[in-house]
Amino acid sequence: MLKNRGKKRRPTTVLIIVSALALLALTAGFISQDTLKTVATDVKSSIENQGKPKFVFDTEKFPDWATVGNVYTNPDDITDDFQGSKDDLPVAGMNVNQCERGSNCVKLIERCEPWSEDKPACKKLAQSTMNTNCFVSVFYNERKVDPEQEVVKFIDNVNSFGGMTIQEVGTKTLTMLTPEGRKEYTLHNYKYKNQGSDTIKQGNAIGYISLSNGHIDIRSICTEASQVDETISVLSAIRLEP
């Protein structure tokens, strides 16, 4: 749980874009107010987040993919009833959602701010992200890992849930620009099947980048495993800056 500092709740349309983070159950933290620019997503950081690493996404190349920027986790805001290790909490993360083709949702976000549910742009933004196939998430964590061992741990964790089956359907070698240069990583694509439930997204791809001072966790989540390829170029347009 997080301590309540009286911060205002994020607008509904913005929460739609970042709601996938909660589904992953990988991060808990306050969402900093970010500013979307035409060329790239930049962060208008609060004082407490200045100096932290941040992810940048080239929105000009992908106008039908939307992000509100970086999510920062502040460990001091975790209360005693938090279940898990603080070492597993990411320092920063970004979620990028696929929008309906031709929606130009990057511009919709710009026109929606400041948010109001009565604005046509806000209504269209919410609608454009509701019925699309995929989203991607990237997280930076200061814990050092072995990428292949992390994949094994991830699969073991999935298999620990009763009724869930997982099958690897392919891998791809990708790269990401980081403060330590361009790093190569393997994206493992898995097909999920949950007995008794047809609502789970079946396409789940994972990858890890090892850094000298931590690691990057990369995820692509799609309705079908065959749709993960739609996220490859998007992942290639994300970089981590110091």
Residues 179-194: tens digit of each pLDDT = 999 999 999 999 988 7
Is pLDDT at 220 greater than 90 in this prediction? yes
Task: Give yes or no for a contact between 25 and 65, defined as CB atoms under 8 angstroms apart.
Answer: no
| pLDDT reported for residue 84 | 62
| pLDDT reported for residue 197 | 63
Claim to verify: residue 41 and residue 76 sit in the same structural domain: yes
Claim to verify: residue 142 and residue 128 sit in the same structural domain: no
Task: Give yes or no for a contact between 92 and 75, defined as CB atoms under 8 angstroms apart.
Answer: no
Q: Which domain covers residue 172, as residue numbers?
A: 137-241
| pLDDT reported for residue 24 | 36
3-class DSSP assignment, residue 135 = strand
Of the two residues 42 and 131, the one the predictor is more confident about is 131
Return mean pLDDT, the chain.
77
| pLDDT reported for residue 108 | 84
Claim to verify: residue 127 and residue 188 sit in the same structural domain: no
Residue 119, token pair as written in the block: 């604005």
Token look-up 């309906």 returns: 100
pTM: 0.76
Q: Which of 105, 132, 159 is the last residue of a domain?
A: 132
Claim to verify: residue 74 and residue 183 sit in the same structural domain: no
| pLDDT reported for residue 198 | 65
Asked if residue 5 is part of any domain, the answer here is no
Structural domain total, the chain: 2
Interval 68-111: pLDDT, tens? 889 888 766 666 666 666 777 889 999 999 998 888 888 888 88
Taking residues 47-63, report their average pLDDT.
83
Interval 110-152: pLDDT, tens? 888 777 888 888 888 888 877 788 999 999 999 999 999 999 9
CB neighbour list of residue 35: distance below 8 Å, 6 or more residues apart:
42, 43, 44, 69
Percent of the chain scoring above 70 in pLDDT: 73
Claim to verify: residue 88 and residue 198 sit in the same structural domain: no
Task: Give yes or no for a contact between 187 and 172, defined as CB atoms under 8 angstroms apart.
Answer: yes
Residue 140, token pair as written in the block: 């930076």
Helices (H), the chain: 12-24, 105-112, 120-128, 147-159, 232-236
Asked if residue 142 is part of any domain, the answer here is yes
Claim to verify: residue 168 and residue 118 sit in the same structural domain: no
Asked if residue 1 is part of any domain, the answer here is no
Claim to verify: residue 145 and residue 228 sit in the same structural domain: yes
Of the two residues 48 and 163, the one the predictor is more confident about is 163
Residue 214: pLDDT band by 50, 70, 90 thresholds? very high
Claim to verify: residue 28 and residue 126 sit in the same structural domain: yes
Claim to verify: residue 150 and residue 123 sit in the same structural domain: no
3-class DSSP assignment, residue 235 = helix
Residue 34: pLDDT band by 50, 70, 90 thresholds? very low
Beta bridge partners of 216: 140, 209
| pLDDT reported for residue 105 | 85
